[in-house]
Amino acid sequence: MKEGNNVDKDAIKKYTEKILLDFFQNHNWQAALSAFHPEHFCYIPAGLASSITSHELLEKELKSFSIQYKKTVLKDLKTEVQVNTDEYIVVAVVFCLQIDDSVYGKYYKSLRRISIVFVPYKNTYKVVNYHIAKPSHDFDTDGYIPQSINSDSYALMQQKLVEKKKQMELIIHNTAGGIRSSYCDDEFTIFYVNKQLYKILGYNYKEFMQMCNGNVRGMIHRPDAGKTIAQMKKSLEMTGAYNSQYGVRKKDGSMLWMMDIGKKIKNANNQTIISSIINDITPLHTALEQLRIEKNTNDILFELSNEVIFQYDVKKDEILLKYKNNKNKNINKKIYIKNLEELKLYKFSEESIQRLQD
């Protein structure tokens, strides 16, 4: 389906038309359901009905149409690829829907406009936003009678469509860190990753998948991969979720530290998958590592010194005093500022104590 960096427009148009024909004309609601993203999507039906964001409610909606309308035909089907990027594709569709309403014995046809947003999913594309609108100006020709006019005007529907597109673009582009979805197998095979994730690592999508061999284990810094994956699996088994931190090698060779928060969910096929949100915590990790190094340095100095060593914690307003007793055993003791006079017991001079009090 690829054509350079973008998707071949003819291929995506045929893919879109197949989805619509499968549902509206062939009444294959299962095929239509499988076209939606297994984790997140928004289905906006015509009229004032509420948006649908769960597979359970969507299945009910699609089944209801197939059961109620036995004979339907799509006429004048036209598709247009409006946005075509590596991260998402927007397709606009216009067609005339002719329906034999077997319940009331009436025939009617009506114009339909649909906007569909696709995102990459494994080796294909899945629907994350589907908005169907029925303009108010239905028509009555060739013995067909129009449906009752929707209370929303077409202009208002168009406005809602634009707003929904902007919301979807905001979700896609501004999710904190990155989003990754994987199968719950031994290697956590990756089937979806958003642009933000591989971009902060300096890769494009193809390079990222090659770097990690298409799985989470390959993504993690090799010396830590086995232990990290084992911890993830144990946590998933016990709680159905995990919170992990690990390093990932960037394209330029430097290390990026990431916090990975994942959870088990069920997709449309009732298959267990793992949905993860990943954040760059390199600055925090670097600061903590610097503190650890400083602490280790101080401990080494203390071990090699026979002098009394103290550290002042400004935030807690306390002193950590370290010294060796007569048996050369390390002693750590916390002394609060109000008890600075105790320092005399450890041979601090009056002058030293006065400077601390000032």
pLDDT in tens, 63-109: 888 887 777 888 889 999 998 888 889 999 998 888 765 444 445 67
Radius of gyration of the chain (CA): 31
Return the pLDDT at 111.
82
Return the pLDDT at 147.
43
Return the pLDDT at 279.
83
Return the pLDDT at 203.
92
The parts of the chain modelled with pLDDT lower than 50 are 3-4, 102-106, 136-154, 337
Instruction: Indicate the pTM of the whole model.
Output: 0.41
pLDDT in tens, 188-219: 999 888 888 888 889 999 999 999 999 999 99
Q: Tokens representing 304?
A: 């090699």
